[in-house]
Amino acid sequence: MKKISSGKVRDIYEVDDSNLVIVTTDRISSFDVVLNSLIPQKGVALNLLSNFWFDFTKDIVPNHIVGTSLDSMPSYFSKDPDIYKNRTVLVKKLNMLPYEFIVRGYMFGSMWKAYKSGESFCDASKKYVLAEKLKHPIITPSIKNHEGHDEYVPIEYLYSELGKEKTDKISEVCLSLYERCYEYAIKRGVIIADTKFEFGLDFNNNLVLGDEIFTPDSSRFWDASVYSIGKSPKSYDKQFVRDWLVSNNLDGVIPAPSLPENIVNATAKIYQECVNKIIG
Ligand SMILES: Nc1ncnc2c1ncn2[C@@H]1O[C@H](COP(=O)(O)OP(=O)(O)O)[C@@H](O)[C@H]1O
Ligand SMILES: [Mg+2]
């Protein structure tokens, strides 16, 4: 089987002209560096969550999923269930748009930084504090940049690149996806603070949702039971690893550091807890 690329977390194989297989590994990246430690079952957690959400939203927009069980895949994968089960999907090969569509429902992360420095990302007529819910969710698109950090672009840039009709369609889809899944997750005690989508075009130029959706790697998930504004909420993602790296002056360091066993185990537990809350 031909592996065509190895992303930070996923390995991609080409099945034929129209299909790919994506394997979600247990790799973890932080500050754009893939760390020298695996988080046991992280890939399974991400894949099961993403598959759940793709199914849950398939009436909003077509997605790239063709099959999620090993039976639907080439024997290269189905003959090795110990390696590939629950972390492998057969997908439609898409011509990916070189953008990330980030939907934000809360004042946090890079938006908080920008807001503090006086840039108006959102409705500037209102004063916000850290982690406060926005009046309305907003979309902050960025250009995918393989060398490092993705770069924010205004929506007008997308109008000129993709056309107004396609851009508006994507924006509408992004907000519908966010609202639907936000409502579901909040009932289960999880706040989806923000999330990222990637779209592509299929052979017929139809817009298709690709990549992963609503995973802890592509979103900020907060524990609703302890959430309060003004402080950094407890999150079901890599925040724990990021904090450890920062406090040890190892953020963004190359060669990538290894994580101590207690951090690996605690992180694995967070991913598992997230699956239990959302799908369990
Ligand atoms: N259906 C698809 N067709 C083609 N490429 C895809 C599809 N879904 C996701 N991708 C791409 O596959 C890669 C997924 O691997 P990942 O480890 O997440 O990479 P990255 O380091 O770029 O985040 C991403 O570059 C994503 O754009
Ligand atoms: Mg990715």
Token pair, residue 96, equals 């990916």
Burial of 175 (0-12, 13-18, 19+ CB in 10 A): middle
Q: What is the mean pLDDT of the chain?
A: 95
Q: Which amino acid is at 252?
A: G
Ligand that lies nearest to the alpha carbon of residue 9, given by its number in the listed order: 1
> What would you report as the CA-atom Rg of the chain, rounded to the nearest whole angstrom?
19
- Asked if the peptide bond before residue 257 counts as cis, ω within 30 degrees of 0, the response is no
What mean pLDDT do residues 250-256 have?
93
Token pair, residue 255, equals 């060669």
Ligand 1 atom closest to residue 29's alpha carbon, by position in its atom list: 21
Question: Is residue 252 left, alpha or beta, with left meaning phi > 0 and alpha meaning psi from -120 to 50?
Answer: left
List phi, psi (to 5°) of 153.
-130, 145
Q: In a mutational test of the pocket of ligand 1, which residue from 3, 5, 6, 10 has the highest number of ligand atoms less than 8 Å from its CB?
A: 10
Q: 199: CA distance to ligand 2 center in Å?
A: 12
Residue the block writes with tokens 């490092």 = 148
Dihedral, 216, 44, 268, 273 alpha carbons, nearest 10: 60
User: What is the SS3 assignment for 264?
Assistant: helix
Q: In a mutational test of the pocket of ligand 1, which residue from 28, 47, 96 has the highest number of ligand atoms less than 8 Å from its CB?
A: 96
Nearest Cα residue to 53 out of 152, 200, 185: 185
Residue the block writes with tokens 């075009």 = 201
Q: 211: CA distance to ligand 2 center in Å?
A: 7
Residue the block writes with tokens 């420095």 = 117
Half-sphere exposure of 271 (CA within 13 A, CB side): 27
Angle between helices 42-56 and 164-187 (to 10 degrees): 110
Per-residue pLDDT at 148? 57
> Which tens digit of pLDDT belongs to each residue from 195-232?
999 999 999 999 999 999 999 999 999 999 999 999 98
Per-residue pLDDT at 122? 76
Ligand 1 atom closest to residue 27's alpha carbon, by position in its atom list: 17
Of all helices (H) and strands (E), which one includes residue 119?
Answer: none
List Cα–Cα distances, 147 to 35, 57, 144, 153, 212, in angstroms.
Answer: 16, 32, 9, 17, 20
> Which tens digit of pLDDT belongs to each residue from 217-226?
999 999 999 9
pTM, full prediction: 0.96
- Say which residues have a Cβ less than 8 Å from residue 54's Cβ, sequence separation at least 6: 63, 65, 209, 213
The set of protein residues with a Cβ atom below 6 angstroms from ligand 1 is 7-10, 12, 20, 64, 91-94, 96, 198, 200, 210-211
| Percent of the chain residues topping a pLDDT of 70 | 98
Q: Where are the domains of the chain?
A: 95-226
Q: Is the pLDDT of residue 114 over 70?
A: yes
How far apart are the C-alpha atoms of 109 and 93, rounded to whole Å?
A: 32
CATH topology of domain 95-226: D-amino Acid Aminotransferase; Chain A, domain 1 (3.30.470)
What mean pLDDT do residues 241-268 have?
94
Q: 210: CA distance to ligand 2 center in Å?
A: 11
> Which tens digit of pLDDT belongs to each residue from 127-177?
999 999 999 999 999 999 766 566 889 999 999 999 999 999 999 999 999
